[in-house]
A = this chain, B = another copy of it.
Amino acid sequence: MKNIEALAYKELLETFKTILKSNGLKFTAQREAILRTLYDHADHFTPENLYFLVKERYPQLNTGITTIYRTLNLLEENKLATSISFGTQGKKFELGNKPHHDHLICTKCGKIIEFEDTQIEHLQQKIAKKYNFELTDHLMQLYGICEECQQNQTKQREERVDI
């Protein structure tokens, strides 16, 4: 989905302010610090990750982890962020201003290759529509054995005469 450009911070900030205003909420230094940190790192964060990053970057704000959680939930409710769950290990959040990307994962060596496929994205939208889902995110991971490991496997098989 490369058609959509990543939103500039300024736009993002304006969107956020608008959302706050229209919900009777206030724009605070902590909320901006969190948004800014999310934006600059453009990554998947656990609330704890983000907590430490914000603490490091804006120590004078002394932002509590409670505020991190509250702000992340606020952002998610308003579709400025999305999250993916990992069971007991919690959630990871990311800003919702980026195109989707997926992963090919080698189960032997752990190598990860990112890819993008607009056809699949399109089909996903179609499926969501069919079930009247408002799609916010997706997780697609293809597991397999990478080229390199396939070759190593062959070697090992030759060496492993006795099994």
Known: A85-B86, A133-B104, A150-B134. A141 touches B144 (CB 8 A): no
The answer to whether B142 touches A138, judged by C-beta atoms less than 8 angstroms apart, is yes
The answer to whether B131 touches A113, judged by C-beta atoms less than 8 angstroms apart, is yes
- Quote the shortest CB–CB distance from A23 to chain B (angstroms): 8
Beta-carbon nearest neighbor of A115 in chain B:
B127
Copies of this protein in the assembly total 2
Q: Does A8 contact B (CB under 8 A)?
A: no
**A123–B143 alpha-carbon span in the complex (Å):** 14
The answer to whether A145 touches B139, judged by C-beta atoms less than 8 angstroms apart, is no
**A76–B120 alpha-carbon span in the complex (Å):** 28
In chain A, positions 111-163 with a C-beta closer than 8 Å to chain B are: 113, 115, 117, 119-120, 123-124, 127-128, 130-147, 150, 160
**A160–B123 alpha-carbon span in the complex (Å):** 35
Beta-carbon nearest neighbor of A148 in chain B:
B132
**A126–B104 alpha-carbon span in the complex (Å):** 12
Beta-carbon nearest neighbor of A79 in chain B:
B145
The answer to whether A127 touches B142, judged by C-beta atoms less than 8 angstroms apart, is yes
Beta-carbon nearest neighbor of A137 in chain B:
B143
Digit string of A78-98 for contact with B (CB within 8 Å is 1, else 0)?
A: 000011111100110000000
Q: Does A67 contact B (CB under 8 A)?
A: no
**A11–B160 alpha-carbon span in the complex (Å):** 26
